[in-house]
């Protein structure tokens, strides 16, 4: 474990993930190695979010210590309350989109939630992410404004950033934050890719409002790609999301669809690193032929992957070149447009 690939969690986070996702004695051994002397109030956000999942996984064994149980209860209750606030605030917006003929596509945590049994205490979420076709972006933007959501950045001051972005953040204050996406995958902002993802989406609902949600394979790839970029605290929830998505689908998980989607998105390098971690550390049954197929992406894509997970000042000249080349390769040629007035 000394030479960790850049996407892999660090040692402490690795132990916590294994405590949350392995079975029986193996999970308890990881927790026993992680817990001693740990100040639960000083945990980073990534570790804190995992605590309810750890507690559920270890619930059938010896009782956990009281401070840990109290911290888990606090995290779980905060997650539940935030989810209720989000749903209550976003429900009229999603209903208005549906009435206008736009079926929202739930992405990120909201697409993964069923793999956690639909229990919001186990998968804390900071906001509601949904996607609409790019042609419906203006309409969705207008409806967000009409329902009291305000963009966190002033569009007029971003100098054309709209066409360089895949999403925009809105807030109605308090815990009611919404991210409007018009492309689904971070590394593949292409309308053709979006159409394929929508074609494979599954029917869902949010508080009784009909929606679609990412298929498990696309939800896994989305989780990996969202984590495959530099953050001061290395993301780790992608690993729990991915493991639970695979386990929830079991034999119905379509590995070939996942591999083909990654190839189309030029995302073989981050997916290869992610699947290697899932198989080696979380005992997820990843097909060996798939790991071999992804194991040696072109050198420049491996350089790009490492550069994306490094802070900008630490990126080499080759890394900066690879990031620029990758962005250009994935960019879909299209005429620039304005936000417009909706349809």
Q: What gap in Å lies between CA 283 and CA 304, rounded to an integer?
A: 27
**Under 8 Å CB-to-CB from 71, ≥6 apart: which residues?**
40, 41, 51
Average pLDDT for the chain: 88
pLDDT digits (tens, 9 = 90+) for 171-193: 998 768 999 999 999 888 889 99
- Nearest CA to 303 among 292, 314, 318? 318
Long-range contacts of 253-260 (CB under 8 A, 24+ apart): 253/216, 253/217, 254/215, 254/217, 255/217, 255/286, 255/287, 255/290, 257/200, 257/215, 257/217, 258/217, 258/220, 258/221, 258/290, 259/290, 259/293, 259/294
- Please, which pLDDT band fits residue 157 given cuts at 50, 70 and 90? low
pLDDT digits (tens, 9 = 90+) for 98-111: 999 999 999 999 99
Q: What gap in Å lies between CA 47 and CA 122, rounded to an integer?
A: 13
- What predicted TM-score, i.e. pTM, was given to this entire model? 0.89
Q: Quick check: 340 pLDDT over 90?
A: no
Question: Which whole number is the average pLDDT over 295-312?
Answer: 80
How much is the pLDDT for 154? 78
């Amino acid at each position: 474990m000394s030479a960790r690939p850049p996407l892999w969690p660090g040692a402490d986070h690795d132990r916590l993930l294994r405590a949350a996702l392995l079975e029986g004695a193996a999970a308890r051994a990881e927790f026993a190695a992680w817990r001693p002397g740990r100040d639960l109030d000083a945990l980073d956000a990534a570790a804190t979010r995992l605590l309810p999942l750890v507690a559920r996984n270890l619930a059938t064994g010896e009782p956990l210590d009281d401070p840990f149980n109290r911290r888990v209860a606090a995290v779980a209750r905060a997650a539940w309350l935030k989810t209720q606030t989000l749903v209550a605030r976003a429900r009229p917006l999603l209903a208005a989109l549906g009435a206008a003929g736009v079926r929202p596509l739930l992405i990120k945590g909201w697409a993964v939630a069923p793999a956690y049994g639909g229990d919001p205490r186990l998968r804390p979420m900071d906001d509601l992410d949904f996607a609409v076709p790019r042609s419906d972006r203006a309409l969705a933007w207008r409806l967000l404004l009409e329902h009291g959501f305000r963009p966190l950045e002033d569009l007029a001051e971003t100098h054309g950033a709209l066409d360089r972005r895949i999403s925009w953040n809105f807030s109605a204050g308090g815990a009611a934050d919404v991210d409007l996406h018009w492309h689904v995958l971070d590394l593949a902002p292409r309308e053709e890719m979006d159409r394929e993802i929508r074609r494979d989406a599954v029917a869902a609902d949010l508080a009784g409002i009909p929606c679609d949600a990412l298929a498990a394979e696309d939800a896994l790839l989305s989780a990996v790609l969202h984590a495959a970029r530099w953050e001061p605290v290395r993301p780790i929830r992608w690993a729990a999301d991915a493991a639970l998505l695979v386990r929830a689908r079991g034999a119905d998980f379509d590995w070939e669809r996942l591999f083909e989607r990654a190839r189309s998105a030029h995302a073989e390098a981050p997916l290869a690193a992610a699947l290697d971690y899932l198989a080696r550390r979380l005992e997820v049954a990843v097909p060996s032929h798939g790991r071999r197929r992804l194991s040696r992406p072109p050198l420049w894509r491996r350089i790009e992957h490492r550069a994306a997970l490094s802070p900008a000042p630490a990126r080499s000249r080759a890394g900066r070149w690879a990031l620029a080349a990758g962005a250009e390769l994935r960019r879909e040629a299209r005429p620039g447009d304005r936000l417009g007035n909706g349809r």
